[in-house]
Amino acid sequence: MTKQVFVIGAGGHAKVVIDALRRAGTMVDGLVDADPGRVGSTVLGVPVLGGDEALERCDRDRTRVVNGIGAVGPADLRAKVYAAYRARGFVFATLVDPSAVVGGDVVLDQGAQILAGAVVQTGCRVGCDAIVNTRAAIDHDCQVGAHAHIAPGAVLSGDVRIGERTLVGTGATVIQGIRIGAGALVAAGAVVIRDVADGARVAGNPARPIGDEVCR
């Protein structure tokens, strides 16, 4: 059955998602965005139809939604939007950019997104609504929790666990076997050689706990 596809959000992440979907052979029928000022505009030629209520009349069986809101920190908006749409009966499509390499036994949960040039090796699981962003590399047997974001160019060695809603920042490196808890933040460029607790923020080489300064 042909499905209509809508992307939630009309900002930077939505643009990346629309392009990946197209190259994977999926056309996007429209966008929804909470900003009324965006209604009537287009992103890569796809119209912004309205706010979240614009999809209310869609037949859930014939509709798939894609989360176009990026995860820019722990406890993010992205997870809330995912939960709200699931509660309304919508199903999220998984997205694998055609340029990504994904092992044959990798498990992608609902709404997981593997973007351009990413590598996800054998034995991995990517949780629901998680993002493996541009050119991120995840080696064998890693587990990425729901709504987590492995940012562009980050590297996870084998058998790493990333908790729900955790952000591993741009270009960060995590050595093999490390456990990073839920709602944590690993700053861009950090080198993680010890486990990271739930909610912790770490930065540097080797990565150490930090305060609240911006570190994405």
- Which residue numbers are catalytic? 140
CB of 97 to ligand JB2, least distance (A): 14
Q: Is 109 in the site for ligand JB2 (CB under 6 A)?
A: no
Answer for which of 6, 18, 21, 33 binds ligand JB2 (CB under 6 A) is 33
Q: Contacting ligand JB2 (CB under 6 A), which of 5, 6, 14, 125?
A: 14
Give the single-character DSSP code of 196: B
Q: Rounded to whole angstroms, how far apart are CA atoms 159 and 162?
A: 10
User: Do the Cβ atoms of 31 and 46 come closer than 8 Å?
Assistant: yes
Residue with tokens 């993010």: 76
Burial 94-127 (b: 16+ CB within 10 A, else e): bbbbeebebeeebebbebbbbbbbbbbbebbbbb
Expressed in angstroms, the distance from the first to the final Cα of the chain is: 41
Is residue 195 a contact residue for ligand JB2 (CB under 6 A)?
Answer: no
- Among candidate residues 12, 150, 144, the one with its CA nearest the CA of residue 68: 12
Stretch that binds ligand JB2, among 11-19, 92-100, 169-177, 183-191 (CB under 6 A): 11-19
Nearer to ligand JB2, 44 or 193 (CB): 44
| Residues numbered 41-80 forming contacts with ligand JB2, rule: CB under 6 A | 52, 69-70, 72, 77
Q: From CA 98, how far away is CA 117, in angstroms rounded?
A: 8
Place of tokens 């694998």: 96
State yes or no: residue 127 binds ligand JB2 (CB under 6 A): no
Enumerate the β-bridge partners of residue 96. 114
Contact residue for ligand JB2 among 22, 24, 30, 34 (CB under 6 A) = 34
What sign for the dihedral angle of Cα 187, 10, 36, 82? Answer: negative
In the complex, the smallest distance separating the C-beta of residue 182 from ligand JB2, rounded to whole angstroms, is: 19
Q: Which of residues 76-105 bind ligand JB2 (CB under 6 A)?
A: 77, 81
User: Of 5, 6, 8, 160, which lies in the binding site for ligand JB2, with binding defined by CB under 6 A?
Assistant: 8
Binding of ligand JB2 by 13 (CB under 6 A): yes
Query: For 101, phi and psi rounded to 5 degrees?
Result: -115, 120
| Residues at the site binding ligand JB2, with contacts judged by CB under 6 A | 8-14, 32-35, 38, 52, 69-70, 72, 77, 81
